[in-house]
Amino acid sequence: MAFQKKLLAWFEKNKRPLPWRKRYRPYEVWISEIMLQQTQMETVLPYYERWMKAFPTLEALADAPEEKVLKAWQGLGYYSRARNLRETARRIVENFAGKFPSDFDSILSLKGIGPYTAGAIASIAFNQDKPIVDGNVLRVLSRLFAIQDPVDSAAGRAKFWALEESLIPKGRARDFNQALMEHGALVCTPKNPKCPSCPVNADCRAFREGKQEAFPVKGARKKTVRVAAGALVWKRGADFFLHRRPAGAIMGGLWEFPEWKLAHGKEMSAREAHDLTFDRARSEFGTEFDAFEPAGTIKRNYTHHLETLYVFTAEGGEPSKDARGWPSAWVPAKKFSAYPFTSAHAKIAEIATSLSDTPRKSRTISRSGKRS
């Protein structure tokens, strides 16, 4: 157990003063763990602070309108997590008298909580001898023991889960698990790990063999697929057209500017994107526009996809129909702050806000892009 003792001593001296470490309240630990999934610490901290001001208790979250919760989450992505947080808070109020359950199986039964998050909550909030197997822990253990199993495979994760559980010093799960994560974040980093100053380098097989950069082992990467989409900033006077994605759909409950997928698996020129978006907008809303012009592009990545989102501005016209039938509204830019957007559509909202309130000279745009 020599390396555990050295790691715990290092953690005691070097742990960061994170806000959920002040009292280890289960509610605060839970929120931090959900926010930290696939998100860097420096990004999470301001979101966490704002969240706790808006929803300081589990009961406050349970009582909050969904739109307010989604707005507080805006920018973190994976919006189902925000909806699950609210739904789980309501279930805890109803089924556990508002007290966060302490046993592992009950924690695991909550919506949006898998075995790894349940282990984190059980060990950090309640100091139970349950493992945490996040990216930092996987990296540290894979280097310490030079483990060849891919960390992104089901068999590999099961092996790391069993190993980490066997390493927890009795009654020290909270500190030991956090020490592993902290060590991975500050010392045993993905690139250029600080091996000479590592407190457990003498116990690290990868360091002894000079193979730190070879771990963790990962399976074959999937190819990146290129995607093109078009979005419309439709202006009428001082207002802009928004619609709300239906509940149950991907990113349900979020507001957005009209958007269409244009191409999958191939490149698309700005000219092609202009013509396709113009056709889709005119067909979906059954209207002609007084102007239809390019306003910029936004890049976004998601699950092995690299998307170019072409943004266009339009003026004039009235929707004679709405093919989607989603709830919609004409909203002035000064009220955008009340509407939850995805990160991409928050950027589109910035484009909309920057547009002049002065109406442009009336003109129509044909499919070819010629003005008349």
Burial degree of 357 (CB within 10 A; 0-12, 13-18, 19+)? exposed
For residue 290, the model assigns a pLDDT of 86
For the chain, the average pLDDT equals 91
Residues in a beta bridge with 264: 227
Class of domain 2-214: mainly alpha
How many residues in total does the chain contain?
372
Q: H or E segment at 260?
A: strand 259-264
Closest CA to 129 of 184, 159, 173: 173
Catalogue the active-site residues. 33
- Contacts of residues 346-353 at CB distance under 8 Å and 24 or more positions apart, as own/partner, are 346/74, 346/75, 347/298, 348/231, 348/233, 348/256, 348/257, 348/298, 348/311, 349/257, 351/233, 351/295, 351/296, 351/311, 351/313, 352/233, 352/235, 352/240, 352/257
Q: Give the model confidence (pLDDT) of 67-77 as tens digits.
A: 999 999 999 98
Instruction: Return the percentage of the chain with pLDDT > 70, whole number.
Output: 95
Q: Give the model confidence (pLDDT) of 164-197 as tens digits.
A: 999 999 999 999 999 999 999 999 999 999 999 9
CATH code for residues 225-354: 3.90.79.10
Q: How far apart are CA 136 and CA 140, in angstroms?
A: 6
pTM score of the predicted model? 0.81
Domain boundaries, the chain: 2-214, 225-354
Query: How many Cβ atoms sit within 10 Å of the Cβ of residue 326?
Result: 15
Mean pLDDT of 343-354: 92
Task: Tokens for 117, please give them.
Answer: 């998050």
Q: How far apart are CA 288 and CA 278, in angstroms?
A: 10
Q: How far apart are CA 341 and CA 77, in angstroms?
A: 10
DSSP-derived secondary structure for 271-290? HHHHHHHHHHHHHHHT---S
